[in-house]
Amino acid sequence: MPDLIGILETSIYCDDLSVSCAFYEDVMGLAELKKTDRLCAFDVSGRSVLLLFLRGATAEGAVADGDNDIPGHDADGRIHFAFESTHDELDMWIAHLEKHGIDILSRTSWMRGGKSIYFRDPDGHLLEIAASPGLWPGH
């Protein structure tokens, strides 16, 4: 079996791309890599890329970097994904989110010692900041 290194990109679909891009840049502190009328790409700590797509704008596919076809994709509904942080930073994240008027929906302590907080982005996606280690074996 060939080996995988990790998950390179996570994609979410947004109703108002400018509002969502502002949230991930201003509140989450992510650095913008690329912005067009249909997508916004953000660097996540040099380890992965968060792609925000305008809902419906990618259903027909696209041509990128010359003549390379990207198949159509789109999604409906609210999803969940987690950002990883450290235990030392989690309380600072809580204060930062509260300062920006973001409601913390849940605070969870895991059996292995990890802790998580949950909140929503402007499109209702459930975001988690997970303090590791202590969530999953090896994480």
Q: Residue 63: is its pLDDT beyond 70?
A: no
Query: Which is the CATH superfamily of the domain at 78-139?
Result: 2,3-Dihydroxybiphenyl 1,2-Dioxygenase, domain 1 (3.10.180.10)
What is the pTM assigned to this prediction?
0.90
Q: Which pLDDT score is estimated for 118?
A: 98
Q: Which CATH class is domain 1-57?
A: alpha beta
Q: Which pLDDT score is estimated for 4?
A: 79
Q: Residue 128: is its pLDDT beyond 70?
A: yes
CA distance 79 to 118: 12
Q: Round the average pLDDT of the chain to a whole number and report it.
A: 91
User: Band of the pLDDT at 67, cuts 50, 70, 90?
Assistant: low
Domain boundaries, the chain: 1-57, 78-139
Q: Residue 52: is its pLDDT beyond 70?
A: yes
Q: Residue 25: is its pLDDT beyond 90?
A: yes
Q: Residue 66: is its pLDDT beyond 70?
A: no
Q: Which pLDDT score is estimated for 65?
A: 66
Domains 1-57 and 78-139 fall in the same CATH topology: yes
| Mean pLDDT confidence for 30-58 | 93
DSSP string spanning 74-131?
---S--EEEEEEEHHHHHHHHHHHHHTTPPP-EEEE-TTS-EEEEEE-TT--EEEEEE
Q: Which pLDDT score is estimated for 17?
A: 96
CA-CA-CA-CA torsion sign (45, 49, 50, 54) = positive
**Chain-centroid distance, C-alpha 46:** 14
